Amino acid sequence: MKMMGIKKQITTTLLSIFVLCVILNLCFIFTNAEKNKTIHIPVRWCAIIGSPAVTSPHFPNPYGKIDNTTESILDTLLQMINDNIYNPIGISFYSLHHNLSKPNDRIPIIQDPNTGVGKVGNQSISNQMEGGEMIESCDNAWKDTLHTENLPGIVVINIRLFVNANGNSIDTFGEGCCLDPRISFVIVSDNQFTSANTGNGSGWHIDKVDKVLGHEMGHALGLSDTSNNPNGLMYNNLKRDDGTPSGIELDEQQIAKIRMNALLINGAINIS
């Protein structure tokens, strides 16, 4: 009787182990399947009057074509960060204006709330109210376009340049913030001042992969600046100590955080 009881106990134990292995295997398969899916994130672009993308939209892109509309210029910026940074980790950004029902619907062009700092389209780094006013104007424009208060995606604003209180350009080309993955924003200088495809960029300002936008999108998805890895996307300087551009790497922890937060963004879709 004891032997039969022991055999029954062993059988029950083996069965439990088998069931547990099956469950763990299914969890592993499910987890890897989720990792292999791409999260598509809508971007609510706005461009400010005075930025080259608005005033002179004729810009050679790195794909051998000429972008001659505000929309095509900003589309290329998203394509650059997708190709170089985010697609390899299963993230893809797209401009929300492609979802609009009318073919002639465009990215909103908004007014510069403070024209007293150098040229129209600049943002004074010392005036945080200005950035807030631009974000509010952009949100209102999209609410009018989409006829909803529940706006999808990340708001991204294309300006001319960041400047100091005297209107002089400074070595800041973007800012991004994630108060919450559902309430995040990015403001970036116009790419014509940092791109390798025009004569406007020079030295470390030449941004061949659009690291500026990629870095700020990292902030919008909850990443913080780092100071110990000049090869990293979130390195807190666009240049290394030797003056060359810093890198675009993301570690596993950063990737996991980005993907987790991306799923919380209104309108984000996780598909294979």
What are 189-208's pLDDT values in tens digits? Answer: 998 887 765 555 545 456 77
- Residue 104: per-residue pLDDT: 61
- Residue 170: per-residue pLDDT: 85
What are 14-46's pLDDT values in tens digits? Answer: 455 554 544 445 444 334 445 568 999 999 999
CATH of residue 75: 3.40.390.10
Same domain, 25 and 126: no
**Total structural domains in the chain?**
2
Number of neighbours of residue 174 by Cβ within 10 angstroms: 21
Same domain, 25 and 92: no
- Residue 135: CA count within 13 A, CB half-sphere: 18
- Residue 32: per-residue pLDDT: 44
Same domain, 156 and 220: yes
Same domain, 16 and 119: no
- Residue 134: CA count within 13 A, CB half-sphere: 31
Token output for 121: 């389209």
- Structural domain range at position 218: 39-271
Same domain, 3 and 61: no
Which helix (H) or strand (E) segment holds residue 162: the answer is strand 162-163
Same domain, 209 and 220: yes
Token output for 108: 């909103």
CB 71 within 8 A of CB 106: yes
- Strand, helix or coil for residue 11: helix
β partners of residue 169: 163
Same domain, 15 and 43: no
Token output for 215: 């870095």
Q: What is the largest CA-CA distance in the chain?
A: 95
CB 237 within 8 A of CB 174: no
Same domain, 25 and 122: no
Q: What residues in the chain have per-residue pLDDT under 50?
A: 1-4, 7, 10, 14, 19, 21-24, 26-33, 202, 204
Which helix (H) or strand (E) segment holds residue 185: the answer is strand 183-189
Same domain, 167 and 255: yes
Same domain, 150 and 131: yes
DSSP letter (8 states) at residue 124? E
User: Which among 96, 94, 112, 104 is positioned nearest to 55, based on CA atoms?
Assistant: 112
- Residue 21: per-residue pLDDT: 47
- Residue 82: per-residue pLDDT: 97
Token output for 96: 């929300």
From the number of C-beta atoms within 10 Å of its C-beta (0-12, 13-18, 19+), residue 18 rates as exposed
- Residue 205: per-residue pLDDT: 57
CB 262 within 8 A of CB 41: yes
Same domain, 58 and 25: no
Same domain, 29 and 86: no
- Residue 2: per-residue pLDDT: 44
CB 101 within 8 A of CB 49: no
Distance CA 205, CA 87 (A): 24
